[in-house]
């Protein structure tokens, strides 16, 4: 079974600053997908960004970008210009050709005004 590790239970960032969330995963597959999901207090899971393993270019969605290091099996998320609405729990997730998602333990992000 694939494992996804998020080593930071909590992160705090000043509004307008940048925060980086770490994620590592273990797999023997060569073709897979990686995701970052946001879960705000409403608990609705929201897809933030996705990365296909075969793509070398790091994915970017507005203020969110990833640093995908395939050889190191690392997939960090950078949130730039942090906003109060970014406060949430963030989950890193892995999916291979089997469509089940494996989630990390999550990182709670607090944004200070």
Partner 1 sequence: GAVVSQHPSWVICKSGTSVKIECRSLDFQATTMFWYRQFPKQSLMLMATSNEGSKATYEQGVEKDKFLINHASLTLSTLTVTSAHPEDSSFYICSATGGGRSNEQFFGPGTRLTVL
| Interface residues toward partner 1, by CB under 8 A | 33, 42-47, 50, 89, 91, 95, 99-101, 103-106, 108
Cα atoms in the 13 Å half-sphere on the side-chain side of 41: 4
**Nearest distance from C-beta of residue 107 to partner 1, angstroms:** 11
**Nearest distance from C-beta of residue 17 to partner 1, angstroms:** 24
Q: Which is nearer to partner 1, 16 or 46 (CB)?
A: 46
Q: Which is nearer to partner 1, 70 or 80 (CB)?
A: 70
């Amino acid at each position: 079974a694939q494992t996804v590790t998020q080593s930071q239970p909590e992160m705090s960032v000043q509004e307008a600053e940048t925060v980086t969330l770490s994620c590592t995963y273990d797999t023997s597959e060569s073709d897979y997908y990686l995701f970052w999901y946001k879960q705000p207090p409403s608990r609705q899971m929201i897809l933030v960004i996705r990365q296909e393993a075969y793509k070398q270019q790091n994915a970017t969605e507005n203020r969110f970008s990833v640093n995908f290091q395939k050889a190191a099996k690392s997939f960090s998320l950078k949130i730039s210009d942090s906003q109060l609405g970014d406060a949430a729990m963030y989950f890193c997730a892995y999916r291979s050709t089997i469509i089940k998602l494996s989630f990390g333990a999550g990182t709670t992000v607090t944004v200070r005004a």
